[in-house]
Amino acid sequence: MTEHIRITEVGLRDGLQNQPHPVSTDGKLELARALILAGVRQLETASFVHPKAVPQMADAAEITAGLPVDARMDYMALVPNLKGYERARAAGYRRVAVVLASTDTFNLRNIKMTRDEAEAACRDVLAAAKNDGVAVRAYVSGALACPYDGPTPVAVVQQLCERMIAAGAVDIAISDTIGAGNPRQIQQILTPLLREHDPALFSLHLHDTRGTALAMAWAGLECGVRHFDASVGGLGGCPFAPGATGNVATEDLVHLFHGAGFDTGIDLDRLYDAVAIAERITAQPLGGRYTQWRRSQERRAQATACAPQDNRA
Which residues are marked as active site?
Answer: 238
- Contact assessment for residue 173 and residue 207, using Cβ atoms and an 8 Å cutoff: no
Q: Which helix (H) or strand (E) holds 227?
A: strand 227-230
Nearest one of 171, 162, 172 to 135, comparing CA atoms:
171
CB atoms within 10 A of CB 53: 16
Q: How far apart are CA 272 and CA 250, in angstroms?
A: 10
Q: Determine how many CB atoms are found less than 10 A away from the CB of residue 313.
A: 2
Q: What is the DSSP string of 138-185?
A: EEEETSSEETTTEEPPHHHHHHHHHHHHHHT-SEEEEEETTS---HHH
Three-state SS at 239: coil
C-alpha distances in Å from residue 266, one per residue of 174, 202, 251:
23, 21, 9
For residue 32, give every residue at least 6 positions away whose Cβ sits within 8 Å of its Cβ, in sequence order, or none: 12, 43, 45, 63, 67, 68
- Between CA 252 and CA 262, with CA 257 as vertex, the angle to 5 degrees is 155
Backbone angles phi, psi at 146, to 5 degrees: -95, 140
